[in-house]
Amino acid sequence: MAILSILHYPDPRLRNKATPVMQVDDTIRTLIDDMLETMYQAPGIGLAAPQVNVSKRVIVIDISEDRTSPLCLINPEIVNRDGIETMEEGCLSVPGIYEPVERARQIRVRALGRNGKPLDMQVDDILAICIQHEIDHLDGKLFVDYLSELKRQRIRKKLEKQRRQTL
């Protein structure tokens, strides 16, 4: 297992559209294990492969209180959305920033699991929000894209300054 390093906004690599996984093999399972370890130590409730500079359609999530319920979704697709919910979001690639974002309250998702078997699930609330946030990463989208240009500019300047001071 390994802790992977997380890219930070405005890194252009976070803007690429990730490629579907063709075969769920041991390489993918090692990636999943490393992503879970990285997410738990961050700590975060989700992580998408592009955040660790792997441009593949793989996400991991654990919204449980005791951090013992990992969920992994490969090539996830939202096939239905219902309702609207606003939640304060954060992102490991936009550290220290929390802003409300409006998303679907309930979604139906199809994906492949860690064993390569198809999954079809109906989820709501925080899990639905988290899956939408992670799928956005696979499409090169970040939660700051839902904010005003002014807010996004302020966030970018703040993170660029932090970056300069830590180099």
Residues that bind ligand GNR (CB under 6 A): 44-48, 51, 87, 89-93, 129-130, 133-134, 137
Please state the closest distance from residue 7 (CB atom) to ligand GNR, in A: 11
Query: What distance in Å separates the CA atoms of residue 101 and residue 89, rounded to the nearest whole number?
Result: 6
- Residue closer to Ni ion, measured from CB, 145 or 160: 145
Please state the closest distance from residue 40 (CB atom) to ligand GNR, in A: 11
Query: What distance in Å separates the CA atoms of residue 43 and residue 156, rounded to the nearest whole number?
Result: 22
Q: Please say if 134 is a catalytic residue.
A: yes
Binding mask 104-133 for Ni ion (x = CB under 5 A): ------------------------------
CB 88 within 8 Å of CB 72 = no
34 binds, among ligand GNR, Ni ion, none (CB under 5 to 8 A by kind): none
The two structure tokens encoding residue 133: 């946030």
Q: Which of 36, 91, 101, 130 binds Ni ion (CB under 5 A)?
A: 91
CB 102 within 8 Å of CB 85 = yes
Query: Within a 13 Å sphere around the CA of 26, how many CA atoms are in the beta-carbon half?
Result: 1
